[in-house]
Structure 1
Amino acid sequence: MAAENKKALVYSILEFLQKSCDDGTISKDDTEGIEVAMQCIGEAFGVDPTDAAQQEAYSTKPANLLSIFEVYLKTKSKTRGQAPASASSSSGAAPAAAKAEISEEDKQKAEELKAAGNRKVSERNYPEAIKLYTEAIAINGSQAVYYANRAAAYSQQSDYDKAVSDATKAIEIDSKYSKGYSRLGHALFCQQKYQEAVEAYENGLKLDPENATIKSSLATAKSKIGSVDRSGPGSPPPSAGGAGAGGMPDLGSLLNNPQLMNMAQQMMQSGALDQFMNNPNLARMAQNMMGGGGGAGGAGLAEMMQNPEMMDMARQFMGGANNNSDGNNNGGSGNSN
């Protein structure tokens, strides 16, 4: 069989040379020399292109030697730089080779960067955490946890598009990584894409059925389905039945509360309002409440009412207000408990 294959190759070569002489590819001055060479090659291999039996046995028509060689060159160009087919027949061959190229030293460096990023998250320094996670990914981009952690940091900065992108990438790398689905669900929830968030949480719960955090997040997302403002993604959540987000009363109902208005008047008289406005954290929350920066107005108010500083100031004020009613003007400046 090997001898026959060689004869078929010689036949194609002789056929190619003859065609080149006939179509002018080879100049007339060189044709005679080529024809002599063809005769010598044919005799050496026992090949005669004019023989009908050999034409039947060795011809590759309608293909020819040139077209076959062009196919080979195209195939070689596509596969150049890829892992050999014997390494893996699956589409994951290239990533597997890439992982093998990462040295243990680089892996350790990436892990150190991830750990440093985690510390920055605990310090609430999210921009620095993102920077460190990005450096870890640049060294070893095959780790789902690096993308999931960066997604969490992006969410903390309210950069939900990037959080969705990173969480999706984490899932692509490791479809069994439940935290990737949890991060994705959180980012989608914050974009008010509640149905998509539910799907993400459900996928995560399939992988980690006992995860209490995912269970709770899933329940919250389900409760929100249908409540999103239809004006489009990113619109603030609607307030139903005169209530703001989180079940807090809206600003109008609060202003109609006589006890609250009486407290506000006493604050203005006692100077507690000045103390409030000079506190940068509480001032920020007030701006969020009025401008919707913390969600709906009720949500911003909810944050204020849950803030320890606000509650402490309220206790101080109430103590001061009671003293004022007895004739002692302490201005609500008593010591906190």
Structure 2
Amino acid sequence: MGKAPTIADVARVAGVSVPTVSRVLTGAIPVSAKRRELVERAIAELGYQPNAAARALVSGTRSMVAVLAANTSRYGYAKTVEGIEEAARAAGYMVVITVVETAEQDAVRTAVAMVLSHSVAGVIVLDFDEPGHAAVTALPQTVPVVVAAAAPSRAVKLPRAYLADQRGAREATSYLLSLGHETVHHIALPSSGRRGGRTAGWSAALQAAGIRPPKHLHTTWDPLHAYELAKSLAADPSVTAVLAGNDEVAAAVLRAMTEQGRSVPGDVSVIGFDDQPIASLVTPALTTVAQDFAELGRQSFALLENSINGSAGQDTVSVRTQLVLRGSTGPRRN
């Protein structure tokens, strides 16, 4: 593999000085149209890629944004980071990711200090859980911060892109009731607040229908823990409809129901959340609430870029959900 071209190579091919190439790259000092054309042609011919760090030193601008998240392997987290990185790359920014392992004060302080040790233009925090929420409140006001979240918030006054999962859960629950189910049970995931948007939407739909919500179950992010909880629902013949916290939890419910000899959707209807790739592959294929996490990431970066540039615009953006009907839901048997 050949050596990557340098700014000196560009200057030599263009027949201009290195400072002239630098002026074209940074735009700090005007350059004649003829010289600019020569430099741009040389850049294209050589395939030269300006070094972001060096460009930042020359121009005085920062070209790096940071992402703080409690996890980067779970589906929603990974897809959101993917959307952020895609939008940032298109805008000429690099992305660094720091994991906040727990909500404990020392862990949060360490993660925040690591982010601020870089010359970052701004920070996006994935406020999907307690560690993420703790990071939001720990960041100083000296750096632009945007929150990517599962729900809106009145407590934190920062630009925020959020998923309309409360509305999605309400729609999913109402759909199950429309199939004749007398109530809907729920297995909830951990959230950044006292009650997540999905749980709130589930509860609101039942209350709107004049139904007292049954006690919901709390699982961890481990599907095996959800499977153990689902066993209790499978053993209860009065349970005919379940709204799961995500598609992995829904898959655990399917397994528990099958082992108990209860058919889905004949005896029990199950709805997942997120529309992960596994949702259409399990048997039966999952009815689920699709969420566009990548779009959440892109919208989060757009808000951050506005903050960095001091541009006026929206400070809150909602990303819609969509109920996707598949084979895991059906009418309640009489």
- TM-score when scaled to structure 1? 0.24
Question: Which one has the bigger strand percentage?
Answer: 2
Larger Rg: 1
Question: Which one has the bigger helix percentage?
Answer: 1
Greater RCO (Cα-Cα under 8 Å, separation 6 or more): 2
